[in-house]
Amino acid sequence: MQAADQESTVRTNGSIGQPITYEKIPTHIYEDSRAASQAVAHEIADLIREKQRDNKPCVLGLATGSSPKTVYAELVRMHREEGLSFRNVVSFNLDEYYPMEPDSIYSYHRFMKEQLFDLVDIPKENYFLPDGTIPPAQIKEHCRAYENMITQAGGLDFQLLGIGGNGHVGFNEPGSLINARTRLIALDHSTRAAAAMEFGGLSQVPRKAITMGIAPIMSAKRIVLLAWGERKAPVLRGAVEGPVTERNPASYLQAHPNVTFVIDERAASELTRMKTPWAVDSVVWDNKMVKKAVTYLSQAMDKPILKLTDKDYNDNGMSDLLAQSGAGYEINIDIFNQLQHTITGWPGGKPDADDTNRPERKNPARKRIILFSPHPDDDIISMGGTFQRLVDQNHEVHVAYQTSGNIAVADDEALRFIDFVVDFNKRFSIENTNITNKIFHDAKEFLKTKKDSEMDTPEVRHVKGLIRRGEAKATCRFVGVPDAQVHFLDLPFYESGTVQKKPLGEEDIVIIEDLIKEIKPHQIYAAGDFADPHGTHKVCWDAIEAAIGRLKHKNFMKDCWVWLYRGAWAEWDIHEIEMAVPMSPDQVLKKRMGIFKHQSQKDGVVFQGDDSREFWQRAEERNQGTAQLYDQLGLAEYEAMEAFVRWRF
């Protein structure tokens, strides 16, 4: 996808006004993070080669976290397949937690070695990171020395950045000044909450970090900032379009002469040119754009769609829509009807009914369905009401749990269940109790002395996986799915024992492919929520997409429709929704009871993120919010709604 210009024009009452630069930082928007990451990796590779031709070192400032991982993967690929050498590269990383041992599984030293350094030919003496083991009394001198090394290397030729949910770059938290130097900093609560998933809980996240300051970052000759997903959208808009402020440190980059933000469409969703493109330039008024504009206008004016007037359209830069389509009332009726037609209590199609204006086909009356769930609770959290409807309406529903979810089980939960097995065997005089006693003893001793650098033992991981599996089975029994229709895929990419997963592999795709060939579904439901901070949802979707790509020419796939749901992290925008399944108060309560079957994920889950609500609360409030939005637009009022978008292959 070509990057869009940052120069925009503003429309006032439909007329072109003076050119306005809404975006104060050049911003390139790509369809997805993969394409964006490849573009950035190729820019870095070109710079490395240019420096090699000039017989000069290439000094890179590097970032950690999920955002640059695909960039590093592409650089590794170019090294292996295209001969890209890193012999002339000198790198300086932005930050490191403090205190932190370099071999810890949470260490940025270890992250960089696993993601890049150990996979290319960069000399070990050429890469540098802040030292998380430095004694407190030596930190100031260490930070000064770190900056001096950058200066002695000739300065940063290229600085790669991510952006935190609060606008931090590196670990320069809100309140950091533009002249801030490399230093020890106290981490903001939101930063620690966002990292809790990696550390097994908020209490385990370090409270401090050593970070390169804003000043040395700004001294880089070239800066590229990466951002993926809608969770970054609000802070990105502030950095790109808002004022320069210490409350959003990324906004300081507006003053840099050679900076580019490289983001995907979801991260760009709050930018003016994406949220209200008709307000900044001429647009093609296709149905998708009209639906987006009308639903936005209805919300902005706080009016039901059918009460919007021609004046409302004219006053909000949509006069050319009126010129193209006629009176506003006709537009209102059309969009109102389209939204109304998304609502259905029959997500599998209503038998013996006219399906002309329904989101799903009526035939076959009894459909075979695969509900893919990335983790063992995404099915009930994300679409529990629809899940129940499909079962109650007599469809053949298969649930496919793609990963074990074992890393999301707390250590004390694992011990509790092992202890139960020991006592159970003892109480009923079951043979081989020595084996379970040994497992319990070994697990207990391991967890008692477990170090940051250690992964769970295979036995502990298996126990945690069995806990999640048992909870998933309980949910399926609660909904009414037979055991034979519950599939635990345990995709291999997930089974690394840490939050950092292995790349998606051929064996992962084949497992999905074989299941689809076995079931021959008429419907597939899959998670389209790529804001999941684990990143697991996106990898799980990539596996499904790859499998469908291989099977789409099969005859049975011609009758298969794919519906994407969103998880606990976000919801589809109203103009995107193609099927909305309403729920009554009783159905909402039943969904809550289904979520409660996942006891290990209640009352302080391991990966809470920066949202303190439990998953059932997030799901209910999100579903109720969708229903309220339909109501505000002038449609029927329901207690709650689950929303879906159809993916066409």
Q: Please tell me which residue, 172 or 16, carries the higher pLDDT value.
A: 172
Query: Of residues 149 and 601, which shows the higher confidence score?
Result: 149
When pLDDT is averaged across residues 607-617 and rounded to a whole number, the result is: 69
Residue 485 has pLDDT above 90, yes or no: yes
Distance, in Å, from the CA atom of 194 to the CA atom of 289, rounded to the nearest integer, reads 34
Cis ω for the linkage preceding 364 (within 30 of 0)? yes
pLDDT for the residue numbered 452: 61
Per mean pLDDT, which of 118-127, 222-231, 499-508 is the most reliable? Answer: 118-127
pLDDT of residue 5: 41
188-201 pLDDT tens trace: 999 998 887 778 67
pLDDT of residue 407: 86
Minimum mean pLDDT range among 20-34, 221-235, 596-610? 596-610
Residue 445 has what pLDDT? 83
pLDDT at 177: 97
Give the burial string for 549-582 (b: 16+ CB within 10 Å, else e).
eebeeeeebeebbbbbbbbbbbbbbbbbbbbbbb
Residues 304-327: pLDDT tens digits? 999 999 999 999 989 999 999 889
Q: What is the pLDDT of residues 205-243, one digit of tens each?
A: 999 999 999 999 999 999 999 999 888 999 999 999 999
Distance CA(439)–CA(418), nearest Å, equals 8
Can you tell me the distance from the alpha carbon of 467 to that of 454, in angstroms, rounded to the nearest whole number?
21
Average pLDDT, rounded, for the chain: 91
Q: Which of 458, 485, 483 lies closest to 470, judged by CA?
A: 483
Instruction: Please give the model's pTM, rounded to 2 decimal places.
Output: 0.86
Listed residue (237, 171, 168) closest to 29, CA to CA: 237
Q: Once rounded to an integer, what is the mean pLDDT over residues 471-475? A: 98
- Among the residue ranges 205-209, 344-348, 462-466, 585-589, the one predicted with the least confidence is 462-466
Q: What is the pLDDT of residue 610?
A: 54
Distance (Å, whole) CA 32 – CA 129: 30
Give the residue numbers marked as catalytic: 173
Q: Mean per-residue pLDDT for 392-411? A: 94
Query: Which residue did the predictor score with more confidence, 239 or 444?
Result: 239
**What's the pLDDT at 533?**
45
Mean pLDDT of 164-180: 97
The percent of residues above 70 in pLDDT, for the chain, comes to 93
Q: Residue 607: what pLDDT?
A: 52
284 pLDDT tier (thresholds 50, 70, 90): very high
At residue 13 the predicted structure's pLDDT band, cuts being 50, 70 and 90, is very low
The per-residue pLDDT for range 137-161, each reduced to its tens digit, is 999 999 999 999 999 999 999 999 9
In this predicted structure, the answer to whether residue 272 has a pLDDT above a threshold of 70 is yes
Helix (H) or strand (E) holding 490: none
Compare 348 and 568 and report the one with higher pLDDT.
Answer: 348
Let me know the angle formed at the C-alpha of 588 by 584 and 592, rounded to the nearest 5 degrees. 165
Span 492-503, pLDDT tens digits: 999 876 666 788
Q: Kind and range of the H or E element at 84?
A: none
Q: Would the CA dihedral through 491, 497, 499, 501 be positive or negative?
A: negative
Give the per-residue pLDDT at 403: 96
Kindly indicate the confidence band of residue 458, based on its pLDDT and cuts at 50, 70 and 90: confident
Residues whose CB falls within 8 Å of the CB of residue 556, separated by 6 or more in sequence, listed in order: 520
Beta strand 15-20 with 8-12 is antiparallel
Nearest in space to 171 (alpha carbons), one of 208, 143, 220 = 208
pLDDT at 606 over 80: no
Task: Inform me whether the pLDDT recorded for 46 exceeds 50.
Answer: yes
Q: What is the pLDDT of residues 571-581, one digit of tens each?
A: 899 999 999 99
Q: What is the pLDDT of residue 425?
A: 83
Q: What is the pLDDT of residue 453?
A: 58
Residue 431 has a pLDDT of 73
